[in-house]
Chains A and B, each alone.
Chain A
């Protein structure tokens, strides 16, 4: 290796001298209405130099000039004046053009001195030309190479000493406490107060990584031929953490202070086989530890044993109430539109609030501002098209995407008479506009709409839709202060229309609407400490239900349950501080406050008596905007990380959260016609607390990430209902509601391999989720007030997601899930009543359905990688439930012809194949 390096150095040296002579030669050129490309061709022709470049870099501006007796470099200087193109001579007769990079040509300043920087060869990161447009940002990532010293044959050593000063490229101030990590990942040094460092490096190639809070994280390639000196200037990173997240950087999982933070790689997730070939980032999320659903195809997510209404799902900062189509079988989020999904299931940053269990932060991508492009897919159930339209080059762009389902043909083609009148369809539309006003201001607007409707008979239709709009203005005040102002509005509505031309025809409607304004500010106090702070306020308006007659014949009495309103506000501040090199703390507090607002009538119940119609003692009236009741409190969000070594850390966190809006459901799983209700005089907010502790370790230069995290969580005022509660169009929900305690705990293990031919992850979770509803009155107790397993308590949960790349074009993906069967309520006997037999139920969730397991396979074929191809295509052939496992979803005890019959139902009991075609252009 050493010898090779010596030879290489010599070639470079001699080559350099050769060039130095040759490029002094004088030539004559005549550029007449030439574009850059033809000018270069002319130079090449006249001089005999071979010139390497990418033609996209060249402009079509014309050049009119003649030169006599001019050196090549002068001519090139002229051509590329005012451009960011540089050039470099090598191997005597070759010139390579480079973009953006600056070329240094320095001879040794002092042959025997300390500074032996010979030259810096620019190496652009390897770019797959096909993806060049799509991944433009990567083109700016380079690893600079430095060569230190000159080999002294008389003094060959195994290690050489490198010293120097690291300073800020803008302020020229030295950067202290910057970590320089050697490529083994384990060792490194930290710069002193004056930015000085001193490190022993092995002879030959070394890769150094420079890391400090608030400083751009960079790597440099350093060839050590002798002891030497290297002064480095680094740029500030505007928002270190965000940048780290975006690029999915190496040690993120180990180094960030948050526990339970997950990031879904949206692009990678396209390989994961899912039902009917539908890409779904939310389904991918459920393959991570701690995130699950009550059952296959059921809507809603349960995060670390929390109820499905306890997740704050944000879509470009606006809440989305029901992110799923068709009862949860398909995602309502266009997979092409999403750039990023971050899930906070452990420590939740202080800027988020309003839900007890988790935050799903989904961000749409910004459209390509340079080139019109798009993406489309055709699958068995849906088709999807997304277009990216530049508006002002490099400044503003527009994205619009739509998906539509055509499940009708499936229903029709079944040749089943009873389904002739059935329809099931859904669609969703997403549009955003991003405008970079200048370096300090950026505005983004996102609009989204999704709609589901289905009807089985010709006389009834069920409709539900999500609508949201968000406006975000990012502003940079100065280098240290940035902020965002976000205005959002979200709504979720459902309707049931029954229209068979009879006196009973009706239209039933529900809607929840929220408008929020949020200001969040970031302040980079020092590289070691930064602050986030802000305020947020939301106005809710809920139409709990209305029913109206349809048609002249209907005698349905119109009923409109009065609107509920509430104002939820919060102020938050958090700080991320590196106390020592190893210990980092993220401490925040959020003070949230909720006011239930009139106008409204609220019933007061007798103290010390069960809450029912008989114990109402008063009905209180509140005027419009009069405060009915207020709730609030501080929410602490504290997490700490201690680095045991460079790639091994210990983290701990404590969180408490408050939730003022609740989903009402007396079903065992979530349904699209579940309503949301605000806290009021009688329904208190839900409160949660979570403690977590975890160990995080990366192996093999971050090829493997391993984490082990434990949590213990308690909730108060979790909602449940009395047996047989009627919730829809009920004006007096409070007599049906039970509020109790929840308790969950678990251990989550995840091993992830990020690169290589075989990549993916394996997760195992052991967790329990328990609830208790106790009261002094038997009618307000469930299971005698004892803790019982929740509907989604599945102690063992194993997920394996693996992708094996045979070649760049072909890959095989697999997805395996094993879960303990979920608890169900089963009869404790039968009884006779009304001339037939019924099952009698007693204790909740005393039985478990059989364990769930499923294996899915997908084979992915990427189109070929020809650069000039019109569109890039991607085929997925998948088989869902390859083993044909009949996993029961639920069990029922129905009375049929006067007899009780036990039934189990499963959704996908056979292998389901699908082919999906995707293409990008």
Chain B
């Protein structure tokens, strides 16, 4: 038998997690009800239960290496059945917040999650800067009474260039964070590094899970998955239109219906699901909506405002109010820029990359185990067990 390993709790991490999760995990007594009632926990999986223990001890290295928080879609069954009201669902949600802040190299994410006042301030500063920049550009290059064409206040060509520049910046940040996720989960401290062949074999999973969120649909109740899918597809549609068909959206008076039909449907989808989510978080009936972090509200508020101003500016443009449309457009973009700049690489939206990556990495790990005949138990399982024993003995 190996010599027992001494496991030191990391109280700093525990404190961080209490802030990000609400702290209910401290009540967990490791009865493992949550693991069994979870529709997604793998037959060899020990979560949520195991992650509750790591959170209680603040086991930073294990948590950082863990993909499991990303494999949970918060159906809430675990929290419903938890005999101690230790909120395993919300704990995993908080762990996702914590991991997001840890993957982020800049420290911005951590700041935003810790203080909603700071987040609000940054949002405000970025929004104001954007508005002033747009106004300066508009009055310098165009006419506020003209919405589209050569003399337009904000010409679609200019905005198009701006969009692509911003997309580049966001991709860079998100790419760096995703690379760090890969480093923490698949390379650093990993005794059995997966070979390239495993990465290649499992690669199709990445687009599949990005587009379908297939794993989410395996939860007992499929409604949250369907709603999330509508939200996500609506968003991706609008994003595609804006990145590739901005000119068609803004030129007039003739309407390119192919583009507009998609745009209108996507806007309706976005607005509908956002209203649904806000109502859900206010009603607090469904488990996944019972606990709202400040960041959840800010995100929803931003998304709602962005959608409404986007629709408004378009409607004003199409109904022949170019000046009003230009003003609404400035407001719209002044909300879009901070939303994307903050949420995509540093906030809640980064999960669009982390989630499919986690499913992919998890499959890569399993593939590597099968194909490389690595039969050794994953170390954290054994260590988790050791920690479990330690806790048990301290209770006894």
Q: Are A and B subunits of one complex?
A: no
Which A residues contact B (CB, under 8 angstroms)?
none
